[in-house]
Amino acid sequence: MEIRDAGPEDIDGITAIYNDAVLHTTAIWNDQTVDAANRRAWLADRQKLGYPVLVAVDAHQSVLGYASFGDWRAFDGYRHTVEHSVYVRNDQRGRGLGLALMQILIGRAREIGKHVMVAGIEANNAGSIGLHEKLGFEHVGHMKEVGMKFGAWLDLAFMQLRLDARETPEA
């Protein structure tokens, strides 16, 4: 297994993992699957902003999982805060890939001077909450019934990780 920056050759693998999460999980609160062009545009947008899209691949370069972050909110004052996503292919979970992807992703956020990472997690997603607890994220909020999928209301748990000890932001 190798973790590296994603390229065009990874789009089909990323798209398949994303669509599996749309169809079968409450990790993504979308109902519609996407095509490769959609994920290609997403990858280009992230890379244009200088933000990483990491993939975990096997020896055949098959995508086993991916992780990325983007701006948390689109106002100037939030520019030191990012929100991330992490997905591991359904037959590869529980083998340490999510943890490995996140550890590298957190390092990348630190390298570019981000101060806080935010995770918005469906409140019953024990796997993701356990992963983020293990990474040192703290529980900071719980919003009730702000989403819906598969005919049920969904609660959103917020967790955050402070990436550095800066007492004030630089200009």
Ligand X SMILES: CC(C)(COP(=O)(O)OP(=O)(O)OC[C@H]1O[C@@H](n2cnc3c(N)ncnc32)[C@H](O)[C@@H]1OP(=O)(O)O)[C@@H](O)C(=O)NCCC(=O)NCCS
Q: Which residues bind ligand X (CB under 6 A)?
A: 21, 25, 27, 86-88, 93-99, 119, 121, 125-128, 130-131, 134
Least Å distance, CB 107 to ligand X, is 16
Q: Which residue, among 45, 44, 135, has the nearest Cα to 86 in the 3D structure?
A: 135
Residue 12 in 3-state DSSP? helix
CB 141 within 8 A of CB 157: yes
Please say which residue, 117 or 163, places its beta carbon nearer to ligand X: 117
Least Å distance, CB 35 to ligand X, is 20
Please say which residue, 30 or 166, places its beta carbon nearer to ligand X: 30
Rounded to the nearest 10 degrees, how much is the dihedral formed by the CA atoms of 72, 76, 79, 80? -110
Least Å distance, CB 136 to ligand X, is 11
Please say which residue, 46 or 95, places its beta carbon nearer to ligand X: 95
Distance CA 66, CA 101 (A): 7
Least Å distance, CB 28 to ligand X, is 8
Please say which residue, 87 or 169, places its beta carbon nearer to ligand X: 87
Distance CA 115, CA 112 (A): 9
* Per-residue b or e along 64-76, where b marks 16 or more CB atoms closer than 10 Å to that residue's CB: bbbbbbeebeeee
